[in-house]
Amino acid sequence: MKFSVPKMSCGHCTSAIEKSIAAADPAAGVTCDLQSRNVAVTTGKSAADIAAAIKKAGYDSELLAG
């Protein structure tokens, strides 16, 4: 699944998001693209669970593709 995270702008942002998603699902694969400000996640969790993890890291997100 892919999320748009408009306020993700630096390495600290990507690190916080990656750590929060890993806390929700240690087996998740996370790829952050700062240029497009998108986060791609491979996980067995629901999109709502991952959006909540991104929110817990301090960022709003929008699901682009499930």
Decide which of 3.40.50.720, 3.30.70.100, 3.40.50.300, 3.40.640.10 is the CATH code for 2-65.
Answer: 3.30.70.100
Give pLDDT tens digits for 38-48: 999 999 999 99
- Domain segments of the chain as ranges: 2-65
For residue 66, name the pLDDT band (cuts at 50, 70, 90).
Answer: confident
Give pLDDT tens digits for 4-48: 999 999 999 999 999 999 999 999 999 999 999 999 999 999 999
Instruction: Say which residues have a Cβ less than 8 Å from residue 47's Cβ, sequence separation at least 6.
Output: 1, 63, 66
pTM: 0.94
Q: Taking the chain, what is the end-to-end CA distance rounded to the nearest angstrom?
A: 4
